Structure 1
Amino acid sequence: MRIGIVSDTHLPNLIRDLDELGPEPARFFASVDLILHSGDLTSPMVLDWLEQFAPVLCTTGNNDPIADQRCQELQILDVHGWRIGMVHSLRRGFRPMAELLQLFPTPVDIIVAGDTHQEVLQYRDGVVVLNSGSPTFPHHKDLRLGTVGVLELAPDRLQAEIVLLGQTPGKPNPGTPARLELQRSSGPSADTP
């Protein structure tokens, strides 16, 4: 299963939907089977836009003032035996994995989060941590194409990736692509520039 990961869209601050940034976001989301949004939508319009491509699960961010029944504080799902836990914030800073795992009521193999607008892909203490950054305000820069994430899950294999959506003319994308592969019976194989 191919899962698109997104966070911190912060719409409609300056634009109504991701189409206004160009065709890249729609192209990316059209390629996935499920979308996980880890909060800071700021408007339910984001979910409406994403749902044209695939089913969406969402967590509530600290900038989501309007409650939407489609979003929860915490999401846990199982895909091909991989347990994914999603929250908006890991409460900033490097924390021991044991502390991060306490955010979830059950053990997880993958943590998906957002909030920082900075992409993170790491494998620590047997857990993949994925923060896709922001597709609209990467690294808290002004409006431009940023980053998203993708998880490809099979029963015996996991591939995770940070994907640059492209470049906005005159505004370089500050994101850094990263890739991690994991076999169920072995450790990770990371490819980070």
Structure 2
Amino acid sequence: MAKFGIISDTHFATNDKNKSYYKLLNQLKETFEEVDEIIHAGDVCESFFLNDLENIAPVRCVRGESDKIPGLEPFINFEVGEYTLGIVHKKPENTEVFIKEHNIHILIFGHTHQPLIKGTPYNTLLINPGSPTKPIAPPPKKGFEKPIARPSVITLKIDNDNILSTFLINLKLR
């Protein structure tokens, strides 16, 4: 079994280590307490946040367009059980072709600051954790209340029988 904490678009600058920063870090420690690994889908901005996440669990991170951290790649893929996971910051324009080229079963991305857990017609799960620091509300849907932008992360569990469980977790508003 493998359990992942998924986060993206934190956009921390050096002067952001304040009370709100540590409050968020404590929420993440609690939320990601039982994860085996944290996946950051880019736009970290400063490496100190990755170092702090490493104190919770090992971290895999891709480079977003705002990242200047040396060593971050724009795309990572790896296998867990029968699944190939791919991580990018921005979902490719031709997602179906990208997924087929890399044989991806689960594509994790960020960039939009809007959470998403969605299956596709080409049998791939798309996961976007939104943003815990700069959330954007999803577009409104007819017949529903206007959505509220909430700070969010996602957990993904792949059990020994290759059954997926994924949860969107709304964090406390800062």
Matched, 1:111 2:113: no
SS in 2 for 1:45: helix
Distance 1:145 1:126 in 2: 28
SS in 1 for 2:167: strand
Please tell me the residue identity of whatever aligns with 1:101: I
TM alignment of 1:163-174, pairs within 5 A = 163-168=169-174
Structure 2 counterpart of 1:67: 69
Tell which has more relative contact order, 1 or 2 (C-alpha 8 A, sep 6+): 2
Distance 2:32 2:150 in 1: 14
- Deviations along 1:21-54, one digit per CA (max 9) or x if unpaired, are 3731221122211011010000011110100011
**Please, what TM-score do these two structures have when normalized by structure 1?**
0.74
Distance 1:21 1:76 in 2: 28
SS in 2 for 1:138: coil
Identity among equivalent positions (%) equals 27
Aligned pair partner of 1:48 in 47, 51, 57: 51
Please tell me the residue identity of whatever aligns with 1:132: P
CA contact (8 A) 1:21 1:145 kept: no
Matched, 1:10 2:30: no
Matched, 1:21 2:24: yes
SS in 2 for 1:101: helix
TM-fit CA distance, 1:15: 2.1
CA contact (8 A) 1:29 1:50 kept: no
Which structure has more strand as a fraction of its residues? Answer: 1
- Deviations along 1:153-181, one digit per CA (max 9) or x if unpaired, are 0233011121111233xxxxxxxxxxxxx
TM-fit CA distance, 1:16: 2.0
Distance 2:50 2:81 in 1: 25
- Deviations along 1:64-108, one digit per CA (max 9) or x if unpaired, are 1x2322x211110111221100000015xxx66523426xx5201
CA contact (8 A) 2:14 2:46 kept: no
Which structure has more helix as a fraction of its residues? Answer: 2
Which ranges in structure 1 are unaligned for 5 or more consecutive residues? 169-193
